[in-house]
Homo-oligomer: A and B are copies of this chain.
């Protein structure tokens, strides 16, 4: 059993009509619900609305993989929560997946050591193709090449991240935009995966191929040994 925590700031999910229209149940629940279809994965959710962001040392000590989505509320996450996440990744080997605008979350910047800034040239939204660069990587197994996304936010280089240990996916957007969309890292004993799709106003987390990639990444990020 892989124990997953899906975390979402849950701000725009409550206040912004175009987000509510796409994810009425809240993005974290969208993600949690499709993960729950796998009987080998158990899923909890937590948000900024929970006391202490829904995160305690005791709770995290029992989690194998965290999925993190944040955007307008990055600074509402207290530094001591970030340290709990960081320590569990680096020292205990917990996996973490930072989704879309979580490129700018405190925990991702902490783990990368760079600014993690990026560009969003006009148009803000457009078609995306997600290209597999490592067809033998566990995260790419069974994924078509390319994955076509009808509409996504046009993230663009220069994306200020360290060179990934494994650059699994590269995204291309309208107007010859380019972005490292699926980047895998070792950090201490843990694994980190950044995955770009997931803008709050488009139903990309309902797309089968995106769900398959997230499933693959959960299995990849989980590094429990037989011995444990």
List A residues at the B interface (Cβ < 8 Å): 90-91, 93, 110-115, 127-129, 131-138, 141-142, 145-146, 156-160, 162-163, 165-167, 170-174, 176-178, 180, 185-191, 223, 225-227
A178 lies within 8 A of B172 (CB): yes
Residue in B closest to A224 when the chains form the complex, CB atoms: B141
Q: Which of A171, A188, A225 has the most CB atoms of chain B within a 10 A radius of its CB?
A: A188
Given contacts A131-B157, A170-B157, contact A141 B176 (CB under 8 A): no
A113 lies within 8 A of B115 (CB): no
Bound complex: CA of A64 vs CA of B33, how far in Å?
A: 33
Oligomer copy total:
4
Q: Which of A136, A162, A165, A186 has the most CB atoms of chain B within a 10 A radius of its CB?
A: A136
B170 lies within 8 A of A170 (CB): yes
Contact of A173 among B132, B141, B176, B191 (CB under 8 A): B176
Q: What chain B residues lie within 8 Å of A185 (beta carbons)? A: 162
A160 lies within 8 A of B188 (CB): yes
A89 → chain B, closest Cβ, in Å?
9
Bound complex: CA of A40 vs CA of B225, how far in Å?
A: 16
14 contacts between A and B (CB under 8 A): A90-B160, A129-B178, A134-B186, A135-B158, A136-B191, A137-B186, A142-B225, A146-B176, A157-B170, A160-B188, A162-B165, A163-B165, A172-B177, A178-B178
Bound complex: CA of A137 vs CA of B189, how far in Å?
A: 8
Q: What chain B residues lie within 8 Å of A141 (beta carbons)? A: 223, 225-227
